[in-house]
A and B are shown apart, each in its own frame.
Chain A
Amino acid sequence: MALFRRRRRRRSSCHAPFADGVCGAKKVLLVGNPNVGKSVLFNALTGAYVTVSNYPGTSVEVARGTAVIAGERLEIIDTPGMYSLLPITEEESVARRILLEDSPDMVIHVIDARNLERMLAMTIQLIEAGLPVILVVNIMDEAERQGITIDIPLLSTRLGIPAVGAAIAKKRGLSEIREIISHYRRPVHPVPEYSRRLENDIAEVAGLFRNRFTISPKAVALLLLQRDQEMTNLVRVKEGEGFAAVEAKIREKVYARRESFHLDLSLERRKIAERLLSGVFHVPDKRRTTFGEKLSRWAVRPLTGVPLLLVVLYYGLYQFVGVFGAGTLVDFFEGKLFEGYFNPWVTGIVKDAVPWPVIQELFVGEYGVITLGLRYAIGIILPVVATFFLFFSILEDSGYFPRLALLVDRLFKKIGLTGRAVIPMVLGFGCDTMATMVTRTLETVRERIIATLLLSLAIPCSAQLGVIMALLSQAPGALLVWFICLLLIFLAVGVLAARIIPGETPMFYMELPPMRLPQLSNVLTKTYSRMQWYFMEILPLFILASILLWIGKITHVFEKLSDWTAPVMASIGLPREAAVAFIFGFFRRDYGAAGLYDLQTQGLLNPRQLTVAAVTLTLFIPCIAQFLIIKKERGTKVAVAIGLFVSVLAFGSGYLLNQFLLTTGIL
């Protein structure tokens, strides 16, 4: 590793003036606690875009981009949030691995000015690891508003590293950061010292190392003393035979300090931070209560929080996404633009240009790539998804979700989840595929499986939701029946899954970021990037589905398929034409719902059939994309099991509901 390190150094200082790409590009790593503004800084430096949110633990993936500062090209790497050098969660391990293995030329530690003392503990760790640290004290604006003052130059001198006070979201401090990066020379500075006892312990362990590591022996020894598994394995490999002695020493020390090593270490770090901050950090005696804090109080008290949630859902989800997005916008795009102008026009062109009816069908027929695929994608799905993502991004940036998480935690515990699962669950109403990806942030495998199952079963995505709402709103009572069915199934399956799937529900803890007024530009970029992802995801599938349906139609396989499934359809009281909607549904959930929409406009369904079809279709197996993501995230076995379970349950529920409605005659 030592050799590797030297080689890197030389490469990084190679003299090609406009060195492109990886060669020569210095690496700048952004690290820090969750939700301190690393991603904002990344975006500001690179001009690229990664999703920024006011929700801890959103950057699951590592973002890499390039920045050109003072004519030099740099590689900027954004890492998931980490609280300390000792990782606990998967995201933190990812972040640390980069820190240890990527040999960065600069490490920018971004911290929250208001919590300077607490976060300085990690700065100390980075410095003692011998990393080239630059400290960015972010969110200075909010700190100042609360009357906090920080003497940044003094702090910088005491730490012996460059430090900048910044409010990156407001562009404050950016030029200073660029300046420091462009002139960065690794300073020689003392490493903060612990108590004599701890320093002795560290020295005894570090003295046994025969090799060098990417970080200082002191940091390695400390991690070993904290029984860090990854570091232990690394040292075992590198030290070879010498490891036995190291291990024996570690055992001895760990035993001697078995009472409270982690705590002692943290307390020592706090003491160092306190020393560094005396005369640097001034807090007013009386804290000021901001409006955001008041709003936060309302959001988390059940008495005010539940009504607030209902208001948010009613205006955000129902009025904005449902009525405006799925109603007004869809009417305009689908009804006026596509049906009124675009489809007749494009049909005319294609029919003139292509003489063969079969090929005409492919583009502009009943299942035509343009008349059906594009119409569904742009006319129906796009407006709904766009309004949903806009709504979601505003909520996300306001900091509302963590509050919602703690509000529903107790309820979610009953279905084997913690409040943490609220993000994937709400996101599922936008796109279940995206939500399934986000279940990665949940702590245990058990939670992830339950969340994945519930997402693929009972959470309709916004596109599907929009179409179904439009459909059912025409039959009074149908929407209510549909809603009650889904809620019951969601809870029943959740409670059952929590009992059946082995393991314990993890504890719930979450940092509550301050509530802020969302910034329009950030909300818009975020919505845009999500939509872009979504569109790239669905458009090919829509076209593929159209082509497959076209093949099915011209080869009559499709009709046969309808024939085969007719008994199944009949058993849940639906006409055989409904099979088409279900086959559609396998490609895209919303596609299936849109198929129902067509059936309904043709007058083929009565309210009872419509309700049964909507419930069955909502529960029905996840679309191809979601299925593939489940397979990727959870493995083939789980994916197949979920697929089978969901299909059986969907038709089973459809059958029961049909019987129930027939007997009671409610609809």
Chain B
Amino acid sequence: MKLSERAEEILEAMWTAIEENGEGFAAMERIGVAADDPAFDELTKRAFIEIKEGRITFRPEGKKEGRSTIRRHRLAERLIMDVLNIRGESGDNKACQFEHLLNEGVDAKVCTMLNHPDTCPHGKAIPSGDCCLEARRSGDLGVVPLTELKSGEEGRIAYIQTEDNKKMQKLVAMGVLPGNPIHLLQSSPSYIFRVGYSEFAVDAEMAREIFISRLQG
């Protein structure tokens, strides 16, 4: 059964206090939820938390739940702020509403789309999920801009992301087509890469718009 939104917020606050700030417990009065809120009951009943004299601690099941709750929250922040480009307070608010939708596998999809981010926009760690572990295990390093490749590294062009249609045409005409293997030869002072039997030089701005899926290894 799905937890209530309030219950999820309690778990998040606990995670921050206990797992990240290293406190032994979360103080009831600092959690931001009224003590008589039914959410506490809900969590206790499901054996997620224990409350003793205003001190809340995780039970094993609850810790797992807290971890995935905080993960959803921070993924939501990434999505709202990075992709939808909603910033500031309104971004925070939207992320808070959005996180509750990221369950039942949606979080894994979002995580993969965001290329398994390590941190939230505020710089806090996002606990890795199964999808991240799987990606790490299979050596799928995800899709990165050409600028992230080391010189000598090879990959496959994943997509080109540019606002400028002419530039897209030029790149495409030069053979920078999704699916083509690409070999980065040098990254300074300009980016030099090889596609097929031709070599091209582009500057950093242009290289940033060519996205590469790295080969395993």
Residue positions of A touching B, CB distance < 8 A: 83-84, 86, 88, 112, 114-115, 117-118, 143, 146, 148, 227, 262-263, 266-267, 270, 287, 296-297, 300-302, 402, 405-407, 409-410, 413, 418-419, 507-512
Contact call B178/A263, Cβ cutoff below 8 A: yes
Q: A263-B168, A267-B179 are in contact. Are A507 and B189 (CB under 8 A)?
A: no
Q: Which residues of A contact B165 (CB under 8 A)?
A: 227, 262
Cβ of B201 to closest chain A Cβ, rounded Å: 4
Q: Which residues of A contact B35 (CB under 8 A)?
A: none
Cβ of A541 to closest chain B Cβ, rounded Å: 39
Q: What residue in chain A is nearest B162 (Cβ atoms)?
A: A507
Q: Which residues of A contact B174 (CB under 8 A)?
A: 83, 118, 509, 511
Q: Is the interface of A mostly helix, strand, loop or mixed?
A: helix
Contact call A266/B202, Cβ cutoff below 8 A: no
Q: A88-B170, A507-B203, A508-B202 are in contact. Are A115 and B190 (CB under 8 A)?
A: no
Looking at B96-104, B113-121, B136-144, B191-199, the stretch in contact with chain A turns out to be: B191-199
Q: Which residues of B contact A511 (CB under 8 A)?
A: 174, 198-200
Contact call A266/B200, Cβ cutoff below 8 A: no
Q: A409-B190, A509-B170 are in contact. Are A115 and B206 (CB under 8 A)?
A: no
Contact call A262/B168, Cβ cutoff below 8 A: yes
Cβ of B186 to closest chain A Cβ, rounded Å: 6
Q: Which residues of B contact A143 (CB under 8 A)?
A: 197
Which residues from 47 to 85 on chain B have a C-beta closer than 8 Å to any C-beta of chain A?
none
Q: Which residues of A contact B160 (CB under 8 A)?
A: 263
Say if the beta carbon of B45 comes within 8 Å of chain A.
no
Known: A83-B170, A88-B170. 16 other contacts (CB 8 A): A83-B174, A84-B173, A88-B169, A112-B197, A115-B198, A143-B197, A266-B177, A407-B189, A407-B190, A410-B189, A419-B201, A507-B205, A508-B203, A509-B201, A510-B200, A510-B202
Contact call A512/B178, Cβ cutoff below 8 A: no
Q: Which residues of B contact A267 (CB under 8 A)?
A: 177-179
Interface centre among B160, B171, B189 (most CB of A within 10 A): B189
Q: What residue in chain A is nearest B193 (Cβ atoms)?
A: A512
Nearest 3 CB-CB pairings of A with B: A83-B173, A114-B197, A406-B201
Q: Which residues of B contact A118 (CB under 8 A)?
A: 174-175, 195-196, 198
10 A-B Cβ contacts within 8 A? A83-B173, A86-B169, A88-B166, A88-B173, A112-B197, A115-B197, A262-B169, A410-B203, A418-B203, A509-B200
Q: Is the interface of B mostly helix, strand, loop or mixed?
A: mixed
Q: A118-B196, A419-B190 are in contact. Are A402 and B172 (CB under 8 A)?
A: no
Q: A115-B197, A301-B186 are in contact. Are A507 and B167 (CB under 8 A)?
A: yes
Cβ of B215 to closest chain A Cβ, rounded Å: 16
Interface centre among A112, A227, A263 (most CB of B within 10 A): A263
How many Å lie between the Cα of A146 and that of B202 in the bound state? Answer: 25
Q: What residue in chain B is nearest A405 (Cβ atoms)?
A: B201
How many Å lie between the Cα of A635 and that of B206 in the bound state? Answer: 32
Interface centre among B172, B200, B202 (most CB of A within 10 A): B172
Q: What residue in chain B is nearest A84 (Cβ atoms)?
A: B173
Contact call A300/B192, Cβ cutoff below 8 A: yes
Contact call A406/B192, Cβ cutoff below 8 A: yes
Contact call A300/B186, Cβ cutoff below 8 A: yes
Which residues from 151 to 170 on chain B have a C-beta closer than 8 Å to any C-beta of chain A?
159-160, 165-170
How many Å lie between the Cα of A148 and that of B192 in the bound state? Answer: 23
Contact call A510/B178, Cβ cutoff below 8 A: no
Cβ of B98 to closest chain A Cβ, rounded Å: 24
How many Å lie between the Cα of A32 and that of B158 in the bound state? Answer: 27
How many Å lie between the Cα of A227 and that of B174 in the bound state? Answer: 20
Cβ of A234 to closest chain B Cβ, rounded Å: 19
Q: A115-B197, A511-B199 are in contact. Are A302 and B168 (CB under 8 A)?
A: no
Q: Which residues of B contact A508 (CB under 8 A)?
A: 190, 201-203, 206
Contact call B172/A263, Cβ cutoff below 8 A: yes
Cβ of B158 to closest chain A Cβ, rounded Å: 12
How many Å lie between the Cα of A114 and that of B194 in the bound state? Answer: 12
Contact call B189/A406, Cβ cutoff below 8 A: yes
Interface centre among B167, B168, B175, B195 (most CB of A within 10 A): B175
Cβ of A598 to closest chain B Cβ, rounded Å: 44
Q: Which residues of A contact B202 (CB under 8 A)?
A: 507-510
Q: What residue in chain B is nearest A118 (Cβ atoms)?
A: B175
Contact call A297/B203, Cβ cutoff below 8 A: no
Q: A267-B178, A402-B201 are in contact. Are A512 and B169 (CB under 8 A)?
A: no
Q: Which residues of A contact B179 (CB under 8 A)?
A: 267, 270
Contact call A507/B168, Cβ cutoff below 8 A: no
Q: Which residues of A contact B172 (CB under 8 A)?
A: 262-263, 266
Say if the beta carbon of B13 comes within 8 Å of chain A.
no
Interface centre among A83, A266, A270, A511 (most CB of B within 10 A): A266
Cβ of A56 to closest chain B Cβ, rounded Å: 10
